[in-house]
Every structure is written in C-alpha cells, then in structure tokens.
Chain A
Amino acid sequence: SAVISQKPSRDICQRGTSLTIQCQVDSQVTMMFWYRQQPGQSLTLIATANQGSEATYESGFVIDKFPISRPNLTFSTLTVSNMSPEDSSIYLCSVGGRATDTQYFGPGTRLTVL
C-alpha cells in the first residue's frame, strides 16, 4: 500500500491567480496521476505524470493551464493557472504501479475560486 498526502487540503483563491498543489507519497512509485472532481461529479483524469518524462495530458486539459512537475519518485505538483470560478473542484493525486495493481488516492485538495 501507499500513503499519500496533499497540500494544501483546501484553499480559497482569487480569479486570475495560480495555485500549486503538492502530492507526497511515502514510497517510490513509477506512475502518478492527477484527477479533478467537480462538485457532485465523478473523477476526471487530468494527466499522467511519470518521473523523468513530460506529463501526458487527457483530452481537454493542456499544459499551460495545468503544468505538472515530477522531480522524483515520491513527489509531484499540479499548478492550476490563471484560475476562474469554473476551476473550483477537488483535485486528487493517485499512484499506481503495474496494470493489475490497485491505485491509491490522496485525500484531495478542495479549491474554491472567487
């Protein structure tokens, strides 16, 4: 299993600013994933972040809006840039290894944009 922490747990931000969310894992993992969960909705995958390579973004998400860093095997950041109220969501990171393994999810970061 893996224990994942996220910082901050929640934040309230002003329109036009940026917020960087941190994801820390207690063990080395190959793959990390970032999800967005809009109010009352399911999870939507933003991107896959592997250490040593650029993140792979899903359709509808772009690097300029959601830049991701993956400096080592236990840490990643997601930045939500130039925020608007539509970015108000819960952002979650998860880690997973082999295809048949489970994924472990962080507790999420609840973002409110005014």
Chain B
Amino acid sequence: DAKTTQPNSMESNEEEPVHLPCNHSTISGTDYIHWYRQLPSQGPEYVIHGLTSNVNNRMASLAIAEDRKSSTLILHRATLRDAAVYYCILRDVTSGTYKYIFGTGTRLKVLA
C-alpha cells in the first residue's frame, strides 16, 4: 500500500488560508488522492479527492503536483470549526479492495 507523509501539526489564524501538504512519492498511476478530516470525538468525514487535476468543492481545494508525488489541501478561510486532524490517503482503484490506509495525519489548530 502506498504511503503518505504529512506534518504532525500546523497552526493557522482564523479567516486566513491554510495549506496542508502531503507527500506521496510512491504513488502509482491508479491511486486516487483522498482527504478526510476528523473533528474531535467524531468519525472521519470526507473533504475532497482527485486523481491528476486540481479539484475544488465547497469545503476546500486540492492542488496536485504535476508528477503527482505531492498534493496540498487548501482551506481558503480557516474557521474555528476547521480545527481537526486532516488525513491524506491514497486509494488504489484497481485493487478491488477499496480500503483506506490512514497515515498519521496533520493536527490543525486554528487560532482566534
């Protein structure tokens, strides 16, 4: 299973943009990049995913490097509610198992 590397923790000021990096140098051509976040005392929730092109949704943007060996989750305006652990996960669409292998994640602290 391909692995991801993320910083253990990051801080951001409220209402400022946040860039959460993820390295996945061993990514294969069939791996999708998924981002989830886990708020305190809750199960993980989906944020965004992509394959090659940058992606936007109402929660965030995902910027994928041209060689796909890294990606960045962008929260355009951090709020206190965005304080969570963010997980970057690679998902192989050809394995048939569809399982997620979680890394250590980045704990985001948002300062008021």
Asked whether A44 is an interface residue with its Cβ less than 8 Å from the other chain, the reply is: yes
Q: A31-B98, A99-B98 are in contact. Are A105 and B44 (CB under 8 A)?
A: yes
Q: What total of chain B residues lie within 8 Å of the partner, measured CB to CB?
A: 25
Q: A99-B32, A99-B91, A99-B93 are in contact. Are A42 and B46 (CB under 8 A)?
A: no
Asked whether B45 is an interface residue with its Cβ less than 8 Å from the other chain, the reply is: yes
Q: Are A107 and B43 in contact (CB under 8 A)?
A: yes
Q: Are B102 and A43 in contact (CB under 8 A)?
A: yes
Chain B residue with the shortest CB-CB distance to A43:
B102
Q: A99-B32, A99-B92 are in contact. Are A45 and B43 (CB under 8 A)?
A: no
| Main SS at interface, chain B | loop
Q: Are A98 and B98 in contact (CB under 8 A)?
A: yes
CB distance from A32 to the nearest CB of B (A): 11
- Neighbouring A residues of B97 by C-beta, 8 Å: 48, 56
Give chain A's interface residue range (CB within 8 Å of chain B).
Answer: 20 to 34
Q: A48-B99, A96-B98 are in contact. Are A103 and B104 (CB under 8 A)?
A: no
Q: Mark B41-60, 1 if CB is under 8 A from A, else 0.
A: 01111100100000000000
Among all A-B residue pairs, the 4 with the closest Cβ atoms: A105-B43, A99-B93, A102-B46, A43-B102
Where the two chains meet, the residues of A that have a C-beta atom closer than 8 Å to any C-beta of B are 4, 31, 33, 35, 42-45, 48, 56, 92, 94, 96-100, 102-108
Since A33-B100, A43-B100, A44-B102 are in contact, a sample of 8 more A-B pairs with Cβ atoms closer than 8 Å, ordered by chain A residue number, is: A42-B102, A42-B105, A43-B102, A48-B99, A92-B43, A99-B93, A103-B44, A108-B42
